[in-house]
Structure 1
Amino acid sequence: MKKTIGFIGGGNMGRAMMAGLLKSGQYQPTEVYVFDPSVKVRKHLEDTLGVQPTTTVEDLVDNAGIIVLAVKPQVLNQVLAKINGRVNEQQLVISIAAGVTLAQLAAGLTGRLKLIRVMPNTPALVGAGMAAIATNENVDEQEKQLAVTLFSSFGLAKVVPEHLIDAVVGVSGSGPAYVYLFIEALADSAVLEGMPRKDAYEFAAQTVLGSAKMVLETREHPGNLKDMVCSPAGTTITGVRVLETGGFRGLVMDTVHAVAEKNRQMAE
């Protein structure tokens, strides 16, 4: 396999991936190719990241050892039709199109190809993404680890069975939107108590960031960390009671389930 990687699509997620790979040192700019139908986008990526733009999808496929399909689901079939018959069995094809299964990828590409489906999320834009990786039977363990290494360059990555991708979409794929709502609500509450809005957003966002870091770095159960903050008859347990009375946890679980179900429907 060539030590080159090509991105079909130069939008936010594709750009975040390219920047992460270059920053990590895994690839040099001369080893990263990009095709986007917008000449302006291609030029911007060339100027800012130093990557190699191609004027056709076909040229990109011919130059890349790994092909990343960083396009919207609604245009993916058009891309598959263009590269079908051109991709060989030594190349890795990685799709980050939401709701598109490995079987659907295989239906659009002939041959015993190495296909990988990835569900990343938008915090990849700041190097703090979470990506789930599912592969077909043609991808070996070394190639799975290569995919993990690629996506770990801008956050965390984990190989999962494909049937768990729906849960991943509900938790980490769509999860940032729920967290932003929570941060906004925390900040609004602080503003209600008299705090300037700029400070309120900073206090709320840093609190969420620090709490998440505590979970990841201590490996403590979130319930234990919650208990550490809740003193008997104190302020925090009073707040927890209000959240529980409002059905906070049940509402979050219902939300994730609804999103996972929607993703299942999109894949049908």
Structure 2
Amino acid sequence: MSGCGLIILYTCRQKAAVEQRMEKPDLNIGFIGAGNMAFGITKGILCSGEGPCLEILWSTLFPPWFQELGVAVTHSNTEVVTASRLVFLAVKPHLIPRVLAEIAPSVTREHVIISVAAGVTIATLEELLPPESVVLRLMPNLPCMVQEGALLFSLGSRAGPQEGAVLKALLAPCGLVEEGPEVWIDTHTGLSGSGVAFVYLFAEALAEGAVKMGMPTAVAQRIAAQTILGAGRLLRDSGRHPAQLRSDVCTPGGTTIYGLHALELGGLRAAAMGAVEAATERAREMGRK
């Protein structure tokens, strides 16, 4: 019995589609850990239009919101390794050594171990796993839960293009998936992993500004959310620099330039840059520990 988190195993038509594309008939997928990242990735994969899971096994200890996914559940970390080829490590960083010590005897060269633990380096993972273990490091973010995530992964020393292609195809329904060197992972954590919370804080502040000017709270929150959603999609889909789009909104002597001046006086730009830097440095510190 493991105390390091519950395990999700799933078999569904989406998995079969990935197997067919990648010509890997033995591709079975499991998660060790049942937090937000495990939920977001699993939901992104399963909600791609390929239909529900075909095998369902419930645990009474499992969080109710996992029931909508139709997943099979076990309490044994070793069982998920023996039943899966791709294994996602989705536990808290401080639990990684304990989990790897438990599953290492069951890990073979045929496994692909994918860690989503912030700050835990590929070198650490490879050191704690058997020789020749194939390791990848992945940093998703919370919007994977609505298939609008931003995910960055890096290949370990024994992972190759084939493993990267399988992971990218598997995660495509979760949102934007990029591959890059491991040195980018901590920066991605600060920019996108933590950055989601920065956006929520800004959305809250926008709505509160409207409430201050007389708009009902519920309406202000809905409009703030839609404003951020629309602005984000336009920025992503247009491919234009943020400064260009910002300039398009401004008219001489108009409302927007007055508002932007207030934001500059408040130090928004410097504060946002500092927030990404602080979150990145904290991720690096966690890796050193």
TM normalised by structure 1 equals 0.92
Does structure 1 retain, via aligned residues, the 8 Å contact 2:152–2:180? yes
Q: Hey, what's the Cα distance between the residues in 1 that align with 2:253 and 2:88?
A: 54
Is 1:12 aligned to residue 36 of structure 2?
Answer: yes
Q: Which residue of 2 aligns with 1:165?
A: 185
The CA deviation string for residues 190-210 of structure 1, in whole angstroms up to 9 with x for no partner, is 001000000000111110110
Q: Which residue of 2 aligns with 1:239?
A: 259
Q: Which residue of 2 aligns with 1:123?
A: 143
With over 3 angstroms needed to count, the CA separation of the structure-2 counterparts of 1:16 and 1:196, relative to structure 1, is same
Q: Hey, what's the Cα distance between the residues in 2 that align with 1:4 and 1:32?
A: 15
Q: Of residues 37, 40, 43 in structure 1, which corresponds to 2:61?
A: 40
Does structure 2 retain, via aligned residues, the 8 Å contact 1:33–1:64? no
Does structure 1 retain, via aligned residues, the 8 Å contact 2:116–2:139? yes
With over 3 angstroms needed to count, the CA separation of the structure-2 counterparts of 1:27 and 1:263, relative to structure 1, is farther
Q: Which residue of 2 aligns with 1:223?
A: 243
Of 149-158 and 252-261, deviating more is: 149-158
With over 3 angstroms needed to count, the CA separation of the structure-2 counterparts of 1:193 and 1:28, relative to structure 1, is closer
Q: Which residue of 1 aligns with 2:48?
A: 24
Mind listing any 5+ residue stretches in structure 2 that lack a counterpart?
1-23
**TM-fit CA distance, 1:48:** 3.2
The CA deviation string for residues 139-179 of structure 1, in whole angstroms up to 9 with x for no partner, is 11121122122222221110111011111111001001111
Q: Hey, what's the Cα distance between the residues in 1 that align with 2:57 and 2:164?
A: 21
Does structure 2 retain, via aligned residues, the 8 Å contact 1:88–1:113? yes
Q: Hey, what's the Cα distance between the residues in 2 that align with 1:166 and 1:48?
A: 32
Is 1:59 aligned to residue 83 of structure 2?
Answer: no
The CA deviation string for residues 34-78 of structure 1, in whole angstroms up to 9 with x for no partner, is 9xxx75118874x43232222411111111010011111121111
Q: Hey, what's the Cα distance between the residues in 1 that align with 2:137 and 2:54?
A: 25
**TM-fit CA distance, 1:33:** 9.4
Does structure 1 retain, via aligned residues, the 8 Å contact 2:87–2:114? yes
**TM-fit CA distance, 1:12:** 2.2
Q: Hey, what's the Cα distance between the residues in 2 that align with 1:161 and 1:54?
A: 34
Of 130-139 and 194-203, deviating more is: 130-139
Q: Which amino acid aligns with 1:132?
A: L
**TM-fit CA distance, 1:116:** 0.7
Mind listing any 5+ residue stretches in structure 1 that lack a counterpart?
none
**TM-fit CA distance, 1:185:** 0.5
Identity %: 39
Q: Which amino acid aligns with 1:223?
A: A
With over 3 angstroms needed to count, the CA separation of the structure-2 counterparts of 1:48 and 1:204, relative to structure 1, is closer
Q: Which amino acid aligns with 1:184?
A: E
TM normalised by structure 2 equals 0.85
Q: Hey, what's the Cα distance between the residues in 2 that align with 1:28 and 1:253?
A: 41
Q: Hey, what's the Cα distance between the residues in 1 that align with 2:184 and 2:158?
A: 19
**TM-fit CA distance, 1:184:** 0.5
Q: Hey, what's the Cα distance between the residues in 2 that align with 1:153 and 1:24?
A: 6
Is 1:69 aligned to residue 69 of structure 2?
Answer: no
Q: Hey, what's the Cα distance between the residues in 2 that align with 1:32 and 1:115?
A: 28
**TM-fit CA distance, 1:13:** 1.8
Does structure 2 retain, via aligned residues, the 8 Å contact 1:3–1:31? no
